[in-house]
């Protein structure tokens, strides 16, 4: 990388003009500011200007907020900006509060969306099972087990246990290796029937609690997903409008 020789330029001007002059020099992109404190010693009679760097502090806060919410700040022409009085602490607090509100609403909706998607994924294996999930879960005398078993085990079940009326596996769907479905067992025989299905390599699957048949539950979840997607789009639109 080539190194360009630079000349040191000293500027002396009334304090009220320094900002305007500095902005003009910086925007020309031909000058690189350097701290005067590095060029003068205290015995030369110069003292640094006491400044709380409030503009820098506010700018850093704005940049931090922008980075948190993936916002690209718009650079203003310094010559057109008379002062930064609009960017006071109250302004920054309002911006942060508004963005946090949008962010929390988005996070909450995304969490609900993930729960619904996970539920749909669980229910999809058991489409066509025409029983009310809420009613069967509260039944005192019958228990249901959802899950899947290898196809070879299903063949064995229908051969070895074909004469046992309590050993029935209701198939709802299948993949390359397994059948997915459910079996029902009387409470007083639950331990025995669970043991038989475990012997057949049945793997239980937790199904979220819901009211209605499986197909009805999936439809309701999909409707809720549509509502949540609309709400997310609305919040994103509000955020874009606010920061534009």
Same domain, 186 and 88: no
Residue 183 lies in a domain: yes
Q: Determine the structural domain holding residue 153 and report its residue range.
A: 129-211
Is residue 154 within 8 Å of 171, Cβ to Cβ? yes
154 pLDDT band, cuts 50/70/90, is very high
Select from 111, 112, 105, 116 the least CA-distant residue to 233: 105
Query: Is the model's pLDDT at 75 over the cut of 70?
Result: no
pLDDT in tens, 221-237: 899 999 999 999 888 88
Which range among 27-41, 74-88, 229-243 shows the weakest confidence by mean pLDDT?
74-88
Verify that 119 and 177 share a domain, yes or no.
Answer: no
Residue 76 pLDDT grade (very low, low, confident, very high; cuts 50, 70, 90): low
Q: Are residues 106 and 226 in the same domain?
A: yes
Three-point CA angle 158, 164, 170, nearest 5°: 55
| Whole-angstrom distance, CA of residue 120 vs CA of residue 142 | 25
pLDDT band at 96 (very low <50, low <70, confident <90, very high): confident
Whether 106 and 158 map to the same domain: the answer is no
207 and 86 in a single domain? The answer is no
Q: What average pLDDT does this structure show over 179-190? A: 93
**Within a domain: residue 100?**
yes
Q: Are residues 202 and 218 in the same domain?
A: no
Of 89, 25, 24, nearest to 57 by C-alpha is 89
Would you say the pTM of this structure is higher than 0.85?
no
Segment (H or E) for 223: helix 214-243
Do 106 and 225 lie in one domain? The reply is: yes
- Domain membership flag for residue 31: no
The total number of structural domains in the chain stands at 2
Q: Reduce the DSSP state of residue 234 to 3 states and report it.
A: helix
Question: Are 97 and 143 found together in one domain?
Answer: no
């Amino acid at each position: 990388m080539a190194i360009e020789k630079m000349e040191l330029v000293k500027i002396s001007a009334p304090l009220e003009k320094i900002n305007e002059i500095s902005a003009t020099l910086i925007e020309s992109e031909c000058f690189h500011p350097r701290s005067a404190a590095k060029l003068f010693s205290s015995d030369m009679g110069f003292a640094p200007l006491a400044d709380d760097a409030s503009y820098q502090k506010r700018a850093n806060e704005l940049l931090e907020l922008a980075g948190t919410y993936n916002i690209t700040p718009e650079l203003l022409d310094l010559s057109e900006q008379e002062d930064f009085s609009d960017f006071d602490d109250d302004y920054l607090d309002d911006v942060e509060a508004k963005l946090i509100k949008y962010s929390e609403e988005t996070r909450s909706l995304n969490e609900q969306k993930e729960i619904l998607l996970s539920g749909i994924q669980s229910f999809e294996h058991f489409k066509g099972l025409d029983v009310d999930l809420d009613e069967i879960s509260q039944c005192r005398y019958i228990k249901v087990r959802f899950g899947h078993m290898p196809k070879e085990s299903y063949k064995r079940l229908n051969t070895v246990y074909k004469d046992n009326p309590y050993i029935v596996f209701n198939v709802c769907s299948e993949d390359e290796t397994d059948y997915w479905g459910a079996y029902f067992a009387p409470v007083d025989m639950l331990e025995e029937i669970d043991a038989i299905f475990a012997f057949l390599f049945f793997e239980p699957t937790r199904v979220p609690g819901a009211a209605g048949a499986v197909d009805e539950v999936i439809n309701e979840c999909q409707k809720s997903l549509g509502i949540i997607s609309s709400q997310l789009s609305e919040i994103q639109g509000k955020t874009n409008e606010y920061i534009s």
